């Protein structure tokens, strides 16, 4: 089962050197802060260590298996 939650962007900055725009996302599933490049988000998305996938429109999706843990 797939679950979707809106994520929060906590910071924005520009990477020194490359000049690429980066943002920090607060994962709505595990509360970890993840750094992602904007171009990467609008492409295939950015995956959190917990398995959630951040998309370009402020939404994170994660496969949930309710039977895996009780």
Cβ-based nearer residue to Zn ion, 23 or 27: 27
Rounded-to-integer distance, Cα 54 and Cα 25, Å: 8
**Interaction of residue 50 with Zn ion, rule CB under 5 A:** yes
Near Zn ion by CB under 5 A, which window of 1-9, 10-18, 35-43, 46-54?
A: 46-54
**Interaction of residue 48 with Zn ion, rule CB under 5 A:** yes
Per CB under 5 A, residues contacting Zn ion are 27, 29-30, 48, 50, 52
């Amino acid at each position: 089962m797939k679950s979707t939650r809106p994520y929060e962007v906590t910071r924005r900055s520009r990477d020194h050197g490359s000049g690429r725009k980066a943002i920090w996302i607060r994962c709505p599933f595990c509360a970890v802060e993840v750094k992602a490049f904007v171009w990467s988000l609008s492409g295939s998305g950015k995956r959190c260590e917990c398995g959630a996938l951040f998309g370009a429109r402020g939404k994170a999706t994660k496969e949930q298996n309710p039977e895996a843990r009780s």
